[in-house]
Structures are given as structure tokens and as C-alpha cells.
Structure 1
Amino acid sequence: MGFNEKVHAYIAAKYYVYLMEAFGERGRMAFIHATQYYAEQRGRRMAQRAIRYGQELTPASYYRYGEWVNTEDTKAEGCNNAMAYQTYQPEAVVHITQCPWYTQFKEMGLNATAGAEYCRHLDNSIVRGFNPYLTYEVDQTLQTADYCIHRMKDVDFDGDTDLSKKPENLRDFEYHCAHSYWAYSEVAAAIFKSAGEAVSGRVMADFERDYGREMADILAGYRYTNFNVCD
């Protein structure tokens, strides 16, 4: 098994643990800020690709220019995303009943802490990076309810609209995991200086222990990647 959604969640969870351990409430604030920073970078890349092809930054474009789909790993494990639209107009309401990120946080015993903070702030921050004039709300998450409720306001599509993601815009989870690690690393170092760098070292050490030297070296190899821009 290589890089996948659960590995991606593992990285965020480990940052939460060590930021909280080292800095308490300031660590929690830093984790939220880093999650938002990471997500907004992802949204900006999506916007750049949409603009490249002459697309307005509408809700439909947001869905079409998403960068990931579930991996075969999580499909085989039976924890891939399961979601369904409840309404399309005047807002798109989605219920999510299964999620590999939720599964990973739960397996690590961090669902009510790292998982709750991550899921509360991630998707609305991706949308903010894509287009800050769109409104996206997360009403509830699997940490406290039977399903997540995500709500996109003022949508420009209905049930017949093709929202399929374009394969050329997708990025594999090697890229997404590296982005996550280095986004949290950058924020931790910016806020806490050498003590923040020490947190990243602990996360990397745990990652190497749990996933092996080869995958850790791959993460490290993305150190100088500019995640603010699309390719």
C-alpha cells in the first residue's frame, strides 16, 4: 500500500498531536491555521486551472476542477467516500456517510480532536482559496453525527449537470501527502521557529517508522515544491 487518503489524514493527525503537546492552545490555533493554509493553496491551484481553460470560478467549476478521487486502496478497504446530493437548488446540500479521513482519525483515537478540527475547517477553506466570493458551509461532521452535511450556496447547476472531474487535473496522493506535510511544516516553523521545526521532525520520524524509509524520502523530496501554483 502506498500513498492514499488515510496516509494523508495520518500526517495532519500527527501534526495535531505534536503541536498540542508542545504548545497547547497555541498549537491548536496553529493546526487550524495550517489546515486553512494548506486548503487555500489547493483551492488556488484549482482556480488557476479553471482560468487557464476560460472557466468562470463558479460552484460547478469548483467541483469539476477538484484534484483528487478515491484511491483503489480505500475502495478495497471499504472506507472510500460515500456521498449523495440532497438538493441542488438554490443550494447544493451533500450528505457524506463514509470517509477515509474519518476512518483514519478514528483508528488513531483522534477523531474527536484532530479529526473534528480538520474536517471543520478544510473544505470551506478550499472553496475560499478557489473563489472567496463563494459560500460553502459545513453544518455537521461524522465526528458528532451520523453523516456530514456540506452546503454550497447559490449554485449554478442541477441534477442533470455533469460535474465530473477532469483526469488531467487530478493529482495523486503522493503529491497531496507531500503538500500536506510541507504546508504544516511551513506554518509550524513560521510560528514557533526552531521548536516548530522540531515538531516536523517528530512527524517525519513517526512517518518513517509507520510507512518506511522509501515513502519518507519521497515526502522529503518535495521540500522545494511551490504548492501555490498549478503545473
Structure 2
Amino acid sequence: MEFLIEHHAALYGYFARAAIVAAGEEGRRAMAEATCLYGQQRGRRMALRAVRDGAQLDMNSYLLYGEWADKEGKNISQPLSVSPHYTTATTHCGWCEAWEKLGLLEYAKLYCQYVDENLVRGFAPALHLGIEGVLSAGADHCHFVWYGADLSGEAMADFARRKTQMGEQNQRDFLYHTAHLYRALTDTLRTQLPQCADSVIATAEQDFAGQYGPAALAAVQTAAIQDFSAI
């Protein structure tokens, strides 16, 4: 089966609901920590690829080395400005769409609080992403300011040229991303919620398998047995 944004979103939402229902604020804190870990690990992989290619660890490179592409067209974004800092507005999000569909938004919005800033931090701690609003918290768009990314004039043409040259070589499919998320969540919950982690994980797994089938859960579990720090 093909894994999509919805599978990734649903897995997070089911884990967040199970953790918060079982452990309240402790569960919320554990999910926050797991989300930070996941984001920073992804960011570090991006940085390793940039260093491999001799690229600077700046915000333009961060935007170039993203690990996924929206092949489904679930996300609608547009630039608000290209200079002095690239600024974007996302008016539709595949993750929010999935969470609303599955009744998970109230729990899963934790993801939006932590993942993007930690992706940037994992890529290069000196960089800063400004988050002025997010859809999952009730804003009418996700408003991101990519400080240090100036895509005016020739910079935009160079960015587009480099992105075309890269193609899909740095991207990973959503089975990989869902498995990485599963690994970060289960590892962190077992450390942070030892008294109820097994129950939380079992509940989330049951919910995911109930929605997408036991084969989908098995695929995630199998793919999760790899080194997500490696490129």
C-alpha cells in the first residue's frame, strides 16, 4: 500500500490522544518531547546531506533539503514576501485535514507547536523560524517567516535551478516518515511514561490498525527498525 500524509498525521493523532487521555499533562509533555526529537532528527539528516554536497547550513539550504514533497496537492501555500526574509502563508494543510476528519485535531495540534522549529534547530541551531500563526490553533493560515532566506531576484532563479537538479534524491516516502515518527514516539513514551507507555502504545496501534488495517501497522513497525540518524 502507498502511505500518504494522512497516515503520518493519523499516527501522530492517535498517539497524542492515547497519551493525553492516559496521562494528562504528563502525556502532553511526553508527546511534546517526542515531537522535538522527531523534528531535530529530521533536521540533522537534512544538514548531513547539505554538508555532503558542500552547501552552507543557511535558511536557503534548509528550504532546499526538505525530505518530502506534497505529491497529493494537500497543502496550499503562497509567498507573502521574498525579501528581506522569505515569508509564506499556508491556507490548507493535509495534516489538519486528516486530524479534523478523524476527530483528532484537539490532541494532534501539539505537532504544530513543536515540529517546525525543531526541524530548523536540528538543521542548524543558529537559524530562526518565525511562526506567527498556525491553522491548527485557529489561525486562518500558517504564517512562517524564514529568517535569513532572501529569495529575491537571482537568488530565486538559483534556488529553482538547484531544486530541479536535486530532483527527488533527498526525499523520503511517507512510509519512511511514518515509521520514523512511530520510532520517536515509542522510544520517548517508554522513557517518559514508563508506568503507562505500553498501554498508550497499544491503544494508538489498535486505533491506527482499525483505521488502515493490520498490514499498515505491520509495515510501519517493520520500517521503524532502522537508523533514522543515517542518510
Instruction: Establish whether TM, by shorter chain, passes 0.5.
Output: yes
Aligned to 2:26: 26
Q: CA deviation at 1:131?
A: 0.6
Partner Cα separation in structure 2 for residue 66 and residue 166 of structure 1: 11
Aligned to 2:213: 212
Query: Which of residues 148, 157, 162 is equivalent to 1:154?
Result: 148
Q: CA deviation at 1:156?
A: 4.3
Flag the 1:66–1:101 CA change in 2: closer, same or farther, 3 A.
same
Partner Cα separation in structure 2 for residue 41 and residue 158 of structure 1: 30
Per-residue CA deviation, residues 106-152 of structure 1 (Å, 9 max, x unaligned), is 112232x2243211211111001111100002110113121110111
**1:166-185 equivalence runs, <5 A:** 166-185=167-186
Q: CA RMSD in A?
A: 1.6
Aligned to 2:87: 93
Normalising by the residue count of structure 1, what TM-score does the alignment of the two structures yield? 0.91
**1:71-110 equivalence runs, <5 A:** 71=71, 74-75=72-73, 80-110=74-104
Aligned to 1:47: 47
* Unaligned segments of structure 2, at least 5 residues: none
Amino acid at match of 1:84: Q
Normalising by the residue count of structure 2, what TM-score does the alignment of the two structures yield? 0.91
Per-residue CA deviation, residues 17-54 of structure 1 (Å, 9 max, x unaligned), is 01111110111111111111111110010000111111
Partner Cα separation in structure 2 for residue 115 and residue 46 of structure 1: 24
Partner Cα separation in structure 1 for residue 181 and residue 81 of structure 2: 32
Aligned to 1:123: 116
Task: Indicate conservation of the 8 Å contact 1:120/1:138, yes or no.
Answer: no
Partner Cα separation in structure 2 for residue 69 and residue 30 of structure 1: 28
* Unaligned segments of structure 1, at least 5 residues: none
Q: Is residue 188 of structure 1 aligned with residue 189 of structure 2?
A: yes
Task: Indicate conservation of the 8 Å contact 1:89/1:154, yes or no.
Answer: no
Aligned to 1:199: 200
Task: Indicate conservation of the 8 Å contact 1:34/1:183, yes or no.
Answer: yes
Task: Indicate conservation of the 8 Å contact 1:92/1:155, yes or no.
Answer: yes
Partner Cα separation in structure 2 for residue 168 and residue 221 of structure 1: 23
Per-residue CA deviation, residues 63-104 of structure 1 (Å, 9 max, x unaligned), is 111000113xx33xxxx1110111122211100011100101
Structure 1 stretches of 4+ moved >4 Å: none
Q: Is residue 36 of structure 1 aligned with residue 36 of structure 2?
A: yes
